[in-house]
Structures are given as C-alpha cells and as structure tokens.
Amino acid sequence: MKEEDKSKIVSSILSRVMAAVRLHVIAVAGMYSHEAGDVEGTGTIIELGGHVLLVTAEHVLSQIAAKGYVGISFSNGDGKRYAQVLHPFSTNAQLDVACVKIPRPRQPDSDRLACPETLIESSVNLSEKDLLFIYGFPGNSSRFSAFLKGIRSKSLTYAAYAGMSEDPWFDPSMHLAIKYDPKHFIGGDGLPADFPLPDGLSEATVWKIPRLEEQGTWASQDARIVGVIQRWDSTGRFVIATRIEHVLPFLQNVCSTT
C-alpha cells in the first residue's frame, strides 16, 4: 500500500474515533467570577456504577487553587453555556487523578454525553500494533468567554504507538508512554495542526484503537479508554498516562463511598 493511501486510511479512522470521543471530553476552567476565567486542563465525563463523574488531573485542581480562582467550570460543548462544579473533588495525588459527581448532561443545554462504562477497559492489554488515541484541549488554544457562552476551545487529535520513556519517573507497570511527534498532528478539523507542547491535555483520556490483523486496519468502533494523561516528558517527547488498571479502582471507590 502506498504511504499516501495509508495516511488517508489512518486519517479516516481517527476522524471517526474523534467524532465519538469528543462527545465525552470537556475543557476545565478556573473562574475568577461568573464572567471571567481561564482554561486549565482537559476532563472526561464518564458513567460508572450508575453515577456520572467528571474526571481530570489532581494537579489541575492544585493549579486552580494556587491561582486564587473562586470556582471551577467546564464546557458543555460547542456554543453551549459552561456549567459550574458545585461539589468538592475527590483526589489521589499519587495517581494525579481527581473526580467529582455531576448531573447527567442533557440536551439542549449540553451536547456532551457521559462515556458508557462499557467503553472503559479494566486493564490495558495492549499489542504492539494497537494505536493510542488522544483528544483534548491545549491551554494555549482554549479561552474562557462569558460573551461567547463560556469556553471556546480548539481541539487536538493525535494517535501514535506506545513507546518507552527513559524518564526516571516512568514506570511501565504504572504508566503508558505515547510518542508526541509534531509531524503527525491533526486538528479537530482533520487538517495538519501546530501544537508545539501538549499544554492543557492533563487528564485527557487515552483510547486504544485495536489493530485487526485479518483486515489490516484499525477497528475504530472498538476504541476503549485505557489510561489518563498525567504528565509530559519534555526530554524524550512522550506524553505519559496512568494505566487504567490503577485509575479505575480509585474511581470505583469514589462511586461507592460518596
């Protein structure tokens, strides 16, 4: 297969995955007031054990607290008014994960949906030809605007194979490493995009797109959450995510105890 044809196939697969994943992904903002704030990270709305959770990074909340914001809000979707978080987050600093129960998103106030529990893996089970997919909101391309009904964000869509970071902090039993190569960036419009750093992607979910050997392509309909982004290895240029088998028990415990 020609390289050009292969690129078209991969782009088509990523576009289909993005269309599904974006329904669950939100931008998280700290609010100075009801009229002003800044985007600090990415979050995901999931359904787990009959509850709806907003999941983001613990360090995103730490950033918000350090900057003196008076509240936290999240995007309800393109052109939809932001929603405020009304309850305290449960946090795990070691995993760098935070979550809070929220009302189920409903139309027409929201065009976001809670990710079904069936799309969340209990463990990674990754083969070397599976793609890892990221969708989130880089902070330098996202803005809070009360005039424009809340948070206006330019998304980042990216996929690559798993790698092995040489950062001393990296533990392959705890983490996933996704090579972050600017040559292959694709924006939310499907066109090449220029995002030099993964700023603002903290706690975006990582999705596995399994490779179907018998068909020689990737199964976009079988994409599942396998991790959540935690940090950026600037030396090796890897996005580092916590594996789902460590995150999921924390989230399940929150659902059962709060």
Model confidence over 62-76: pLDDT tens digits? 988 898 888 898 888
pLDDT at 146 exceeding the cut of 80: no
pLDDT, residue 137, reads: 74
The CATH number for 3-257, chosen from 3.60.15.10, 3.30.470.10, 2.40.10.120, 3.40.50.1700, is: 2.40.10.120
Measured CA to CA, the distance from residue 56 to residue 63 in angstroms comes to 12
The confidence score (pLDDT) of residue 211 equals 85
Domain coordinates in residue numbering, the chain: 3-257
Predicted confidence band of residue 2 (pLDDT cuts 50, 70, 90)? very low
Element (H, E) at 58: helix 58-66
Length of the chain: 258
Is residue 82 a contact partner of residue 151, using CB atoms and an 8 Å limit? Answer: yes
* Residue 136: CB atoms within 10 Å: 30
Q: Is the pLDDT of residue 184 over 80?
A: no
Mean pLDDT of the chain: 82
Q: What is the pLDDT of residue 107?
A: 87
With residue 203 as reference, give the H or E element that holds it. Answer: none
